[in-house]
Structure 1
Amino acid sequence: MKASRLLHLLLLLQTRQRLTTPELAARLEVSRRTVLRDVEALSTAGVPVYAERGRNGGIVLLPSARLSASHLEPPELEALSVAGLDSALRERMGLTAVWESAERKIAACQAAAPESPSPLADLVLVDSTAWFAAPEAAVEVSDLASTLRHRRRLRILYRRSAESQASTRVVDPYGIVAKSGRWYLVADDQGDSRLLALERLSAFEQLDAPAVLQPGETLRTRWAVLKKRTEEQDRVSVTVRLPEKGLDLARRILGTRIHHVSDAEKGSCVVVVRYPDIESVRQLLQFGDHIEVLAPETARARISQLARDLADSHSTPAS
């Protein structure tokens, strides 16, 4: 533990060259006394690091001292291999610590080349969570990912979206996918590949039998097929009129369901939205009176009925 902390301390100093004792104590999550002891130990070992006293003092690493931090440990390389995960998703996977360790090493290497352009990490931020929603997985994602490494069959307790009770089933897993802030288990269920939302998976158990996967198929190939199948389910086209100024909000709420947007005319746009069925038009109630459903007639009738039901449920009873 101490060796890891000393390395962390050196990487921080190589990145910033000078830090106060309180700053280092906060970063390392230790006391100030421990920081000073670590600095003394490094100095005794011949590392050119020392403590400066006074108002502008701090812990200083001489510029001539450059630690070779290019070597990444296997867990750090593994964390970087799933770079599409944001901080919240990495936390669920249990990768936060090794990711931060890799980041410190990369930052220290960048500090060794001060003339290089600003790193992309300072300019690009990836946030994979969905807008206005934060669905939580019912199981620990890190535990499931660790179990999947063994490539065994799983017995799971899972509730389908149309069911009120969970049922037990045995599946052959390919892996897990993070999509728009939601986690999915990709698995074969009785030979048919499925997307199983983790918020509806309440328990899992690893079996002794190895997973029986379709020949030549991987997590990526199965995901591509399932993603296409899911998106192609949107077979009902609903035409709506929206104010032009509400188009950005519509794109955030409707996402890839938007199939076409007309040019603005008199301050409004005509938008074609694709749904798997007419009942899904209830999503459009989020726009309140800023939207008008134009076609098909079945969608107009359904949204009208939904609006009446909503108004009736909120009406004030006669005294």
Structure 2
Amino acid sequence: MKASRLLHLLLLLQTRQRITTTELAARLEVSRRTVLREVEALSAAGVPVYAERGRSGGIVLLPGARLNASHLEPPELEALSLAGLDSTQRERMGLSAMWESAARKIAARQAATSTGTSPLRLADLVLVDSTPWFADSEAAVDVADLASALQDRRRLRIRYRRSAESEASTRVVDPYGIVAKSGRWYLVADHRGDGRLFSLDRLAAFEQLDAPVSLRPGETLRTTWAALKDRTEGRGHVSVTFRLPEHGLDLARRILGTRIHDVSDPENGTCIVVVGYPDIESVRQLLQFGDHIEVLAPDAARTRISQLAKVLAETHSPPSS
């Protein structure tokens, strides 16, 4: 019998007190016969656990019997310290087993201290899911391999394709670490002395070099990420004004977020919205609103929207007979 499986069995019983043999077998990924054999061995060793026959029977841990298994091992603590990751991200990082082990110990500890009059836990009322809607983002490199390599604190040679490029190019970077943001992974690194974000979706390959990382003095993963996030979500240098139906404001706030500078009070069913972009070309984003939007200023933004609309119209015009 495996010690880890026995610990799992006892933690499940401490949390639930009574579980059917079939459910235990499924949770432990063994046969019902194996469950009964291990319960018999535990009972012979003095653990107050037994098999109860009948329709409502199952495996039972006597009330008052408590296993002190709430102490967390260092790998479990490390898994819990990355609590913002979703289940898919934990799997890619190789943390799923440690996370589940820690969660079982916490559940057992909570069961030991709860009473019939205890209020509901926040964990029963709040669910956090950091994956984006309709997203199927798959990193090109193994996230766990990259995270392991970063622990050596050495420079990386990467093959990376920028969003506007069709082919990946090679560059040498000094990595701070990786960030999970809205279901996607990013490598945060210095390139030629400047902080940069590299989406793992477009990171084709990486190679560790012999040279140690050379990071900017005083900068860490958190400080560099904060600066890059502010740069990405900043309001930009170009203010674009457009008219939008009042009922489209919720959609605009979801799509544009912090790019919105100002929204006027509704008048005749429409609002005037001001957004900030880093350049005129970024007005492409406003095409998502289709014919519900009218760009008012500046003239360069109106001209670019007109050009893009003409290209779309030509591309989608019916074939000539």
Q: Which amino acid aligns with 2:199?
A: A
Q: Which amino acid aligns with 2:177?
A: G
Secondary structure (helix, strand or coil) at the match of 2:186 reads strand
Aligned equivalents of 2:80 and 2:221: distance in 1? 18
Shift of 1:270: 2.6
Relative to structure 1, the CA distance from residue 307 to residue 272 in structure 2 (aligned partners, 3 Å threshold; closer, same or farther) is same
| The one of 185, 190, 193 aligned to 2:192 | 190
Q: Which amino acid aligns with 1:100?
A: E
Aligned equivalents of 1:105 and 1:211: distance in 2? 38
- Kindly indicate whether the alpha-carbon contact (under 8 Å) linking 1:131 and 1:252 is maintained by their aligned counterparts in 2: no
Alignment pair present for 1:285 and 2:248: no
- Kindly indicate whether the alpha-carbon contact (under 8 Å) linking 1:240 and 1:271 is maintained by their aligned counterparts in 2: yes
Q: Which amino acid aligns with 1:194?
A: R
Relative to structure 1, the CA distance from residue 270 to residue 38 in structure 2 (aligned partners, 3 Å threshold; closer, same or farther) is farther
Residue in structure 1 matched with residue 166 of structure 2 by the alignment: 164
* Comparing 165-174 and 299-308, the one that deviates more: 299-308
Aligned equivalents of 2:134 and 2:150: distance in 1? 30
Alignment pair present for 1:121 and 2:100: no
Aligned equivalents of 2:268 and 2:111: distance in 1? 54
- Consecutive unaligned residues of structure 2, counting only runs of 5 or more, are none
- Consecutive unaligned residues of structure 1, counting only runs of 5 or more, are none
Normalised TM-score (structure 2): 0.92
1:259-278 deviation per Cα after TM superposition (whole angstroms, max 9, x unaligned) = 33333334333322222222
- Kindly indicate whether the alpha-carbon contact (under 8 Å) linking 2:239 and 2:274 is maintained by their aligned counterparts in 1: yes
| The one of 245, 256, 259 aligned to 1:257 | 259
| The one of 223, 230, 234 aligned to 2:225 | 223
- Kindly indicate whether the alpha-carbon contact (under 8 Å) linking 1:17 and 1:61 is maintained by their aligned counterparts in 2: yes
* Comparing 161-170 and 78-87, the one that deviates more: 161-170
Aligned equivalents of 1:97 and 1:262: distance in 2? 51
- Kindly indicate whether the alpha-carbon contact (under 8 Å) linking 2:189 and 2:197 is maintained by their aligned counterparts in 1: yes
Shift of 1:246: 2.8
* Comparing 263-272 and 189-198, the one that deviates more: 263-272
Residue in structure 2 matched with residue 103 of structure 1 by the alignment: 103
Residue in structure 1 matched with residue 71 of structure 2 by the alignment: 71
In the alignment of these two chains, the number of paired residues is: 319
Shift of 1:203: 0.7
Relative to structure 1, the CA distance from residue 214 to residue 49 in structure 2 (aligned partners, 3 Å threshold; closer, same or farther) is same
Secondary structure (helix, strand or coil) at the match of 1:195 reads strand
- Kindly indicate whether the alpha-carbon contact (under 8 Å) linking 2:234 and 2:258 is maintained by their aligned counterparts in 1: no
- Kindly indicate whether the alpha-carbon contact (under 8 Å) linking 1:11 and 1:104 is maintained by their aligned counterparts in 2: yes
Residue in structure 1 matched with residue 319 of structure 2 by the alignment: 317
Aligned equivalents of 1:63 and 1:262: distance in 2? 64
Residue in structure 1 matched with residue 141 of structure 2 by the alignment: 139
Aligned equivalents of 1:213 and 1:234: distance in 2? 27
| The one of 244, 250, 259 aligned to 2:246 | 244
Shift of 1:148: 0.7
Residue in structure 1 matched with residue 28 of structure 2 by the alignment: 28
* Comparing 96-105 and 26-35, the one that deviates more: 26-35
Q: Which amino acid aligns with 2:188?
A: V
Aligned equivalents of 2:60 and 2:147: distance in 1? 41
Relative to structure 1, the CA distance from residue 252 to residue 25 in structure 2 (aligned partners, 3 Å threshold; closer, same or farther) is farther
Identical residues among aligned pairs (%): 80
Residue in structure 2 matched with residue 38 of structure 1 by the alignment: 38
Normalised TM-score (structure 1): 0.93
Q: Which amino acid aligns with 1:32?
A: R
| The one of 255, 274, 277 aligned to 1:275 | 277
- Kindly indicate whether the alpha-carbon contact (under 8 Å) linking 2:241 and 2:275 is maintained by their aligned counterparts in 1: yes
Aligned equivalents of 1:178 and 1:256: distance in 2? 20
Relative to structure 1, the CA distance from residue 265 to residue 104 in structure 2 (aligned partners, 3 Å threshold; closer, same or farther) is farther
Shift of 1:132: 4.1
Aligned equivalents of 2:108 and 2:263: distance in 1? 47
Residue in structure 2 matched with residue 112 of structure 1 by the alignment: 112
1:148-190 deviation per Cα after TM superposition (whole angstroms, max 9, x unaligned) = 1111111211122333221222211111111222211111223
| The one of 197, 200, 203 aligned to 1:201 | 203
Secondary structure (helix, strand or coil) at the match of 1:168 reads strand
Aligned equivalents of 1:41 and 1:144: distance in 2? 43
